[in-house]
Amino acid sequence: MGILTKVKVAVARRKLNSMDIIGTDSLEKLIHSRFLADFKKSQELRDMVGKDSLDEITAEDVNTYQLYKFRESMRYAMENSHYYKKKYEAAGITPDDIKTMADISKVPFTDPDDLAENSMAFCAVSQGKVMRAFTTSGTTGNRKRVFFTQNDVLNIVDSIAAAVKSVGMTKDDALQVMFPAVSAWDPGLMMDSACKLAGLNSLVSSTADVDEQIKNMKDNKTTYLIGLTSFIYRITMLAKDKYDLRSIGVKTIICSAEPLPEIMRKQMIEAWGCPVLAQYGMTEMGLATAIECAAYDGMHTSGAYFFVEAVDPVTGESKGYGESGELIWTSLVMEGTPLIRYRSRDISQILPAPCNCGCFSTVRRVAKIQGRLDAQTKIGYGQKIFPALFDEVLLAVPGVLSYKLTLTHEGYKDKLNFVLEYKGDEEEGHRQVEAALMSLDEIKDALDNDLIEIPEVSFIEAGSIEFVPKSKAIVDLRENYLKYGYNYSALRVSQRYFHMLNSIWEESLGEPSYENIRSRGNVHP
């Protein structure tokens, strides 16, 4: 590292709020630190809180602070972003209209498609002030471009550092970062850079080779793992019969970027003998927005930098604590690409403080992600299925490493074709997988109503295929379904009853009935 770089790093570190913050309440201490700094500077904030001094910071104080930061962020976006200036003028709303938490619902949502279509309209700084630019991986549709200033990057570092400290990591620990590299951007490198800037020991290990991953852990004396959920799970399942994973000394595993099914968590805990935690982050928000603790009582939000809500995804109405809805995120300090009431497409719940861990008493939490709006598919009469629906039952079958479901359509029925990555006796595997699928009400109902074929199950050898990050677990090849949506379900129902009527007519009159039924009832197969 050259002298100039060392100087820049030293200056950057002095700007980090998280540097002097340690302990499992690091995320909460971070928002309290930012709150106190703004409280001293801002008469507006003191007026909103209704105090000139603070002996202690309550949950109500934090809510007020987040409202204050929301107004500030909204004002900044309206003054500097062409997109928000135009959007809020059209809506006839200003930051001064947001006087209470309830007033936030008046602010229009920001749709990810808008960001994808015209990312430059969101940018609130000149290109000369842009330090980093990232393109999202496109899991919600089109790729989106976001811009970060130097201050944005430092805030991201703060959030990441506080998050890993909140689950027990110290400067004496070693973090192994396990994100497979992707073409658009590499979250592993971002995580590694953030840790190093914050003075934490980390190593990027993106290889899919199991032996190399384990060697890196031993050589680096790894005590913490963080990475893509399915990637860490895959490494675990391929390594657990070959290595004594508990002897490596991993203290905590953090699963990120994908939901963490409970069956995955259970199997990884059994293999490693340590807590396995869920972490939630969005590229658009700078990665680290919420993380679980060992109490498994929801994910602690990085409230210093983000505000989160849950709303009804159809009506947009706010959901109360413990009610499922779409998560809506607002960046409270972002300069490059500020995002106000940004739709995540993720379904979860907002949980009130405190957490059962006893360390998170003033900041709201987020429940585990239940699924994605754009990942749901419909079968039969319209039963909703998510990948998570099958995760819990299929991954519970011993020997199943991963699966892919392809949906096709034959006649008037849907066909579910499962291909599972499997290690073990195939005959026994078939029996257990089929039993697992038949345990699902969605499958049983569709079969009982004769709207799907019996699911087809086939196996490929575990470890024989290359791991592909963020591949779709459900591939829908039903052309007409995609074209007609709900109407197609109705069409299939009418087809079903046509065939039923045809069979009854034949049994009663002993002759084919197609033309008779068609002429009388105007029903088309």
Q: Considering Cα of 338, then 257, then 376, then 326, what sign does the dihedral take?
A: negative
Give residue 189's pLDDT band: very low, low, confident or very high (50, 70, 90).
confident
Does the pLDDT of residue 37 top 90, yes or no?
yes
Look up residue 360 and give its two tokens. 């998170």
Look up residue 326 and give its two tokens. 């779409």
Domain spans of the chain, in order of start? 23-147+298-369, 168-274, 376-484, 486-521
Q: Residue 345: how many CA atoms within 13 Å on its side-chain side? A: 13
Q: What percent of the chain has pLDDT over 90?
A: 58
Separate counts of helices (H) and strands (E) for the chain: 18, 21
Q: What is the pLDDT of residue 250?
A: 98
CATH topology agreement for domains 23-147+298-369 and 168-274? yes
List, for residues 48-104, the tens digit of each pLDDT value.
999 999 889 999 999 999 999 999 999 999 999 999 999 999 999 999 999 999 999
> In the CATH scheme, what is the code of domain 376-484?
3.30.300.30
Instruction: Classify domain 23-147+298-369 at the CATH topology level.
Output: Rossmann fold (3.40.50)
- Tell me how long the chain is: 525
Element (H, E) at 122: helix 119-122
Alpha carbon dihedral 18, 226, 333, 352, in 10-degree steps, equals -90
Does the pLDDT of residue 308 top 80, yes or no?
yes
Give residue 4's pLDDT band: very low, low, confident or very high (50, 70, 90).
low
Q: Domain 168-274: state its class.
A: alpha beta
CB 363 within 8 A of CB 300: yes
Does the pLDDT of residue 480 top 60, yes or no?
no
Q: Which residue type is seen at 17?
A: N
Give residue 180's pLDDT band: very low, low, confident or very high (50, 70, 90).
confident
Q: Which residue type is seen at 464?
A: S
Residues 6+ apart with CB under 8 A from 510: none
Tell me the whole-structure pTM to 2 decimals: 0.84
Quick check: helix, strand or coil at residue 483?
helix
Burial class (CB in 10 A: 0-12, 13-18, 19+), 470: middle
Residue located via tokens 């990085």: 302
Q: Considering Cα of 448, then 451, then 453, then 458, what sign does the dihedral take?
A: negative
Average pLDDT over residues 19-24: 87
Look up residue 230 and give its two tokens. 């399915």
Q: What is the pLDDT of residue 318?
A: 95
**376-227-254 Cα angle (round to 5):** 90
Does the pLDDT of residue 201 top 50, yes or no?
yes
**494-499-500 Cα angle (round to 5):** 95
Nearest to 228 by CA among 199, 260, 200: 260
CB 386 within 8 A of CB 378: no
Look up residue 275 and give its two tokens. 């807590």
Element (H, E) at 306: strand 306-311
Look up residue 344 and give its two tokens. 């995540």
